[in-house]
Structure 1
Amino acid sequence: MNLSIFFEPLNEDVFAKLNKPRTLGAYVTRFVSKFPDWRGADIAILGVNETRGRSNEEEPVATVATSPARAVRKTLYTLHKGSGRCKIVDLGNLRAGITLEDTYLRLKEIVEVLISHNTIPIIIGGSHDLEYGQYLGYEHLERVVNMVTVDSSVDMTQDTDAMPNKKQLRQILMHEPNYLFSLGQIGYQSYLVEPEVMATLEKLHFEAYRVGEVHRNVQEMEPVVRVADLLTFDISAIRYQDAPGYAPTNPFGLTGEEACQICWYAGINDTLTSLGIYEYDPELDERGLTAMTISTMIWYFIEGFYHRKNEVDFSSKYFTKYAVAFNDEPDRMVFYKSKQSEKWWLEVEALSDGKGSRIIPCSYEDYLQATKGEVPNRWIVTQARIG
């Protein structure tokens, strides 16, 4: 497939000074005059200057000068390359569709093609509703997928007059065919979320973590991220002090360090195949602090990717199996611990015969809870979903 027809090339004048030795810019093949060979790349960066999802404009608001991806690139490519081999391409900026729905479908097609060739897209948006197009890119897999979103709110409002970037999760849940198995919501703030929305998440057995829970122990977010096939990040989840380039402003939220930690977890996740970062507005980012924060998040994602362990064979010699006995249902619980990374997994049996079991990421705390005779919440919600 000729992907170049979907993209606008980059202005090389902007990046000419970013090719210093050992910086990331010297290792990324960019679309300037010739479209890069993305088939051999591990990661593909693409910008989407689509903002109709957060405004009443009939056409995308972002221009080349105000492009979120342009601002991020100018900072990202000055960072020093990490320890990985760095097979990365920059495809340029996706041409917006005539309508917002057309942009979703274009993004779907791009994501579908890239992940089918084992190339991970990093999408720099644009409004958060673009995650709908990112999600649609998994429809061809014909299997259930797991999604994690990092956001200060839960974009699932029932208000029909709300902007698309406030209700795309509802659009995802209503999409047919429905292939979403699990949704993890990280960093939400209760006073920004309708109680009815939280009740819906609980009814669907989805996991949601308040920003305070992340502050208390960001390491506990690692198993949440490790289950994901795709991760989306709304910059409004980060406090204004670390990322002022969004509106409306939010004095509370994740720190920049916590955002980078989550992106590191996403990078080392063997099953994650796309990352979307949305809602950055360069016009509100006077000193470029948000661009630097996002660039560092992407840097940690890339570095994490090149530290993946490919831990998927639980019957191999690289795993230790632990069985915890219970006096009631379940009568036992099986855990797996990696000898390489020391990460933990939990096997969950289905309630119905013939549905088999699923092995899901968990934490050491889940194992300790089981040894005390308590059933971890991850086991309960996963069993409820698989039936």
Structure 2
Amino acid sequence: MSFEFLKPVSDAVQAHAMLQPQHAIGNVIQIHTEHTGLPQLDGVQMVLIGVLENRRDENALLQLKSVDSVRKQFYELYPGNWSLSMVDLGDVHPGETVQDTYYVLKQITAQLLIKKIIPVYLGGSQDLMYPIYRAFDDIQYMINVVNVDCRFDLGDIEAAISSRSYIGRMVADQPYNLFNYSNLGFQTYFNSQDEIELLERMFFDATRLGVLDDDMRQAEPVMRDADLVGVDMAVVKAGDTAFAKANPNGLTGKQICSLSRYAGISDRTKVFGIFEIPIDATLTGAQLIAEMIWYFIEGYNYRAGEHPVDINEGFLKYRVPIEEEVLTFYKSNKTGRWWIELPFISNVNNKLKQHTLLPCTRKDYELACDQNVPERWLKARRKNEV
């Protein structure tokens, strides 16, 4: 089993957990320590794992030694009204080569997916998303990936994989299991026009920072359709992390916590990762990452069990004629969330081989009523016809 490669949480961090008040997370969570060994995972819903690999980060000069600053801040928080069993499994240390680390991370993720346990990863460079994605190969066909990042990270697929090029490898490498890639929070001046045009040609989704500033609710349907969610901490503006290499513009601390909650509340999300944690992470930044984990768990606690969607019970159906199409929307009586149907197309090689329900917003329904076809529906259909 690959869990044997997990190194225990340090004695100093364990002592910090024990010093917390009785009801703080540090005294509630089970911790992998050298003394107690790996906790049993029976009945566990979520695990926390550090991955200390950053050799493929083009800007990293030193190895990431630990994510203990985040752990300490997380242990100091108080849980919400949760009925969640969570374990801190410790850290994956860098292997002799980066490929060794990738192999271990892929195996660990695959085992957790089989056990239906959600891993929350604290990294390291964001190219770690690639082996996590590959863990789905033998478990689930066609997955959706969401990257919360100021950059697309498509990169040059001919070059070696790096923290700026792993998405391109997801697209190009066999087996082809990437159905949709969505970016949340990109800033145009960090992305080449070639990448922007390539994203459009592949009918992938990208939501600019300014759009999220206007209405964060636009991100909820994107997260609702995600199997794997990764966050690059460079997407958060410098003023809210105090990281030395952060960007002047970006998401606020409040916004990134909202996105973390959306990821947690998504019935589909199976893996959540927070990457590009700097080796000299500030107390402010560590506190924010701890709060992101807290909000992800909070969202998970309020999952509604609406994936896969059963439209035969508890849904209102709306049919909207547009030109030669009739768009069918569904609204959940339970949560008020909306979906739009992407119908089976019999004369093409339909990738999903079924009627597909695409998460959307009430605004998409209102646009359809005004005779405007929602953009995400158009992209999903075109991609499905390729």
TM range (shorter): over 0.9
2:264 pairs with one of 264, 267, 273: 267
Cα deviation for residue 246 of structure 1 reads 5.7
Can you list the C-alpha shifts for 1:232-274, whole angstroms capped at 9, x where unaligned? 0000000000113363x30000001000000000000001000
Is contact 1:236–1:246 with CA below 8 Å preserved after alignment?
no
Structure 2 length-normalised TM: 0.93
Is contact 1:230–1:273 with CA below 8 Å preserved after alignment?
yes
- Name the structure 1 match of 2:343: 349
SS across alignment from 1:138? coil
Cα deviation for residue 96 of structure 1 reads 2.0
| Residue type of the alignment partner of 1:137 | A
| Residue type of the alignment partner of 1:53 | R
Structure 1 length-normalised TM: 0.93
Q: State how 1:305-344 maps to structure 2 within 5 Å.
A: 305-312=300-307, 313-326=309-322, 328-330=323-325, 332-344=326-338
Can you list the C-alpha shifts for 1:265-324, whole angstroms capped at 9, x where unaligned? 0000001000011001141x34x1110111101100001101101013433432111111
| Residue type of the alignment partner of 2:364 | D
SS across alignment from 1:51? coil
Q: State how 1:80-91 maps to structure 2 within 5 Å.
A: 80-91=78-89
Distance 2:166 2:115 in 1: 27
Distance 1:277 1:237, change over 3 A: same
Considering only aligned residues, what root-mean-square deviation do their CA atoms show, in Å? 1.9
**How high is the sequence identity, in percent, across the aligned residues?**
31
SS across alignment from 2:49? strand
Distance 1:14 1:268 in 2: 29
- Name the structure 2 match of 1:22: 23
Distance 1:195 1:10, change over 3 A: same
SS across alignment from 1:139? coil
Tell me if 1:371 matches 2:373: no
2:206 pairs with one of 205, 208, 212: 208
- Name the structure 2 match of 1:31: 32
Gapped regions of structure 2 (runs ≥ 5): none
Can you list the C-alpha shifts for 1:127-165, whole angstroms capped at 9, x where unaligned? 011111111111112410001001111112239678711
Tell me if 1:72 matches 2:67: no
1:49 pairs with one of 44, 49, 52: 52
| Residue type of the alignment partner of 2:320 | V
- Name the structure 2 match of 1:175: 173
Gapped regions of structure 1 (runs ≥ 5): none
| Residue type of the alignment partner of 1:139 | D
Distance 1:57 1:154, change over 3 A: closer
SS across alignment from 1:4? helix
Distance 1:134 1:161 in 2: 20
